[in-house]
Structure 1
């Protein structure tokens, strides 16, 4: 029988592809009325936020940003809007993994789903109360 240390010797964190699978599973877990709309928002998974995002948000540490929504929220869209880029949810793998390890009390898939839903909330214009009805969360 392996001891608890040796069981992790060959374990690696999910790579980009495996992380995207975790995100897809989170999307599939959404209530049906939101799943199709969520699929219409572009998804980008990156190890870290691009420097331009960090600068815009006045963040120095790239580990401080786990996700970001870029676009115009549905509650603010107008037929007059001419989007320059598609609405996009960005998930940053390394900061999410870092938070997961630091917390040590939650499954990775649950954390990924939480970050995704939080960013999706920006797209829909949801309040924190709205988010809680879709994905209850305790900090």
Structure 2
């Protein structure tokens, strides 16, 4: 890793100071905090407004202006007709396993069906806990 030349570092620091407005430089030299900090959200190709006097302007870009905010999104279970074919096929596979009495399925039919009951109860309990936590987080 190369070391930064001290003269290069000083010239970069001096260049950064010249970009600040004169009022901000004077304020920084006195050690006083700014009187006003303004946050501006820019859309498209808008330019960031310049700061004046004792004001600092912080600009951010909104890349997704038409996206629904997280607080308004519906995060509930997705109806079967709106799910992908992969999810539908996985659900059909699970129903077939239970109906066939395969091991770890908690089915009264078949030789290994009873072994999956505790696993099913644990999965259901964990799903209920996640649902309660999601409701608590949504209520905050």
Q: TM-score range by the shorter chain?
A: under 0.3
Q: TM-score, normalised by structure 2?
A: 0.22
Structure of larger gyration radius: 2
Structure number with the bigger relative contact order (C-alpha 8 A, sep ≥ 6) is 1
Q: TM-score, normalised by structure 1?
A: 0.22
